[in-house]
Amino acid sequence: MKITEFKIEEGIIHVLDVNCDEPILNESYLNLSNEDINIFLSKHVEKILKDEELNLGKFNESPDFIEYINKFFKNEINLVEVSKEISKKFFEIIQQEGSSSSCDLLFLKLKTEIGYALCMIKLDYVKNYVHKIEYVEDKMQIDIIPQFITLPSNSQKVMKSCLFIEDLENNFNLLYLDKNYKNSHENSNYFKEDFLKCFKVYSDYSKTKELISVAEKWTRKNIRDDADSAFFVRESFKDKLNNEENLNINEFAREVFKNDSDKIESFVDFIESNGIEGEVVVDKDYIHKKYERIRLKIDRDIDLYINKESFYDINRFEVKRNGDGSLNMIIKYVLNYNEK
Report pLDDT digits (tens) over 142-167: 989 887 777 777 778 899 999 999 86
Q: Report the pLDDT value the prediction gives residue 36, as an integer from 0 to 100.
A: 92
Return the higher-pLDDT residue of 202 and 73: 73
Sign of CA dihedral 54, 290, 229, 227: negative
**Are 74 and 170 contained in the same domain?**
yes
Say how many domains are in the chain. Answer: 2
Q: Report the pLDDT value the prediction gives residue 150, as an integer from 0 to 100.
A: 76
Beta bridge partners of 126: 150
Q: Is 40 exposed, middle or buried, given 0-12, 13-18 or 19+ CB atoms closer than 10 A?
A: middle
Question: 167, 184, 201 — which closes off a domain?
Answer: 201
**Are 255 and 318 contained in the same domain?**
yes
CB 303 within 8 Å of CB 286: no
Is the residue at 135 inside a domain? no
Q: What would the pLDDT profile of 274-301 be if each residue is shown by its tens digit?
A: 888 889 999 999 999 999 999 999 998 8
**Are 106 and 213 contained in the same domain?**
no
Does 1 score more than 90 pLDDT? no
**Are 33 and 161 contained in the same domain?**
yes
Lowest-confidence range among 75-79, 128-132, 220-224, 257-261? 128-132
Q: Report the pLDDT value the prediction gives residue 186, as an integer from 0 to 100.
A: 60
Instruction: Give the model's confidence band at 203: pLDDT under 50 very low, under 70 low, under 90 confident, else very high.
Output: confident
Is the residue at 45 inside a domain? yes
**Are 105 and 64 contained in the same domain?**
yes
Phi, psi of 116 (to 5 degrees): -80, 150
Does 237 score more than 90 pLDDT? yes
Question: 161, 178, 201 — which closes off a domain?
Answer: 201
State which residues form the domain around 280: 206-331
How far apart are the C-alpha atoms of 201 and 177, rounded to whole Å? 13
Does 100 score more than 80 pLDDT? no
